[in-house]
């Protein structure tokens, strides 16, 4: 299982009991607004917007909220002016981290993230300091039973996917950045998609096999994930399956 998958698996488990999961709507609305601002409000011609709207529907976001976010992005309705910015750095135990943010106040976001990094024993670095350890790929999660593995695998590979992994309630399908939308369209004709996104996979892993150190890193990543302007957090943490099972999420 890839390093990205470890962190994603942990976040999936947390989502079931996380009292702050209401933040998901805010993040999705920001993504819809940015996507429609950059590529227009037509879902057919704007794949980023199409993916964001699909994510909103999976999260059961009301259609009115989606429509308003699109119109704010296209300028049909007044809205906040958002800026996209990525932060890179190292967290506790030397874990490499990328935080993708959407903010209406860069100074506030920078100050808050610097504080989180600093108090956790890490530091924000210059652009490019850790991004060389990551590769942008597509990730599609589907709901399917383990016995469907061969069928899912064949469909995914025939559609152009790079790999698949079995997860708690289905499979995660990994694609290249370029093939993501084609694979997603093929998969969703046959299976229910629970998540689909362009994300970052770590290619240079940081293995941690001490429970206390793992807990420290996960607390740090939680703080980043909870920061109001953070859209996505990527880390190159590598935890063994045995250690992962021992962690109290």
Q: Return the number of other C-beta atoms located less than 10 Å from residue 208's C-beta.
A: 22
Q: pTM to 2 decimals?
A: 0.87
**pLDDT (tens digit, 9 = 90+) per residue, 39-80?**
999 999 998 999 999 889 888 899 999 999 999 999 999 988
pLDDT at 121 over 80: yes
Same domain, 113 and 148: no
Instruction: Please check whether residue 131 is in contact with residue 193, taking contact to mean a CB–CB distance below 8 angstroms.
Output: no
Instruction: Please check whether residue 109 is in contact with residue 148, taking contact to mean a CB–CB distance below 8 angstroms.
Output: no
User: What is the C-alpha separation between 243 and 245, in angstroms, rounded?
Assistant: 5
Q: Return the number of other C-beta atoms located less than 10 Å from residue 92's C-beta.
A: 17
User: What is the C-alpha separation between 94 and 235, in angstroms, rounded?
Assistant: 10
Same domain, 121 and 70: no
The pLDDT of residue 59 is: 85
Same domain, 57 and 173: no
What domain range includes position 146? 133-202
Within a domain: 231: yes
Within a domain: 114: yes
Same domain, 116 and 91: yes
**Which of helix, strand or coil describes residue 95?**
coil
**CATH number of the domain enclosing 32:** 1.10.10.200
User: What is the C-alpha separation between 49 and 17, in angstroms, rounded?
Assistant: 28
Angle at CA of residue 10, ends 95 and 165, nearest 5°: 100
The pLDDT of residue 139 is: 92
């Amino acid at each position: 299982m890839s390093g990205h998958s470890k962190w994603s698996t942990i976040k999936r488990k947390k989502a079931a009991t996380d009292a702050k999961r209401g933040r998901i709507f805010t993040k999705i609305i920001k993504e819809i607004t940015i996507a429609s601002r950059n590529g227009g409000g037509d879902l057919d011609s704007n794949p980023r917007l199409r993916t964001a709207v699909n994510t909103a529907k999976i999260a059961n976001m009301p259609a009115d909220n989606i429509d308003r976010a699109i119109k704010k992005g296209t300028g049909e309705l007044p809205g906040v002016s958002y800026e996209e910015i990525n932060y890179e750095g190292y967290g506790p135990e030397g874990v490499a981290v990328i935080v993708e943010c959407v903010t209406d106040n860069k100074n506030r976001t920078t100050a808050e993230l610097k504080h989180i990094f600093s108090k956790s024993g890490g530091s924000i670095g210059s652009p490019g300091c850790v991004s060389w350890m990551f590769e942008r790929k597509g990730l599609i999660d589907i709901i399917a039973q383990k016995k469907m593995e061969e069928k899912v695998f064949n469909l995914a590979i025939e559609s152009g996917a790079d790999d698949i992994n079995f997860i708690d309630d289905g499979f995660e399908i990994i694609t290249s950045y370029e093939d993501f939308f084609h694979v997603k369209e093929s998969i969703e004709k046959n299976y229910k998609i629970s998540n689909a996104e362009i994300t970052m996979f770590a290619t240079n892993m940081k293995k941690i096999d001490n429970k206390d150190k793992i807990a420290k890193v996960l607390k740090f990543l939680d703080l980043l994930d909870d920061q109001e302007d953070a859209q996505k957090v990527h880390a190159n943490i590598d935890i063994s399956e045995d250690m992962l099972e021992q962690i109290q999420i």
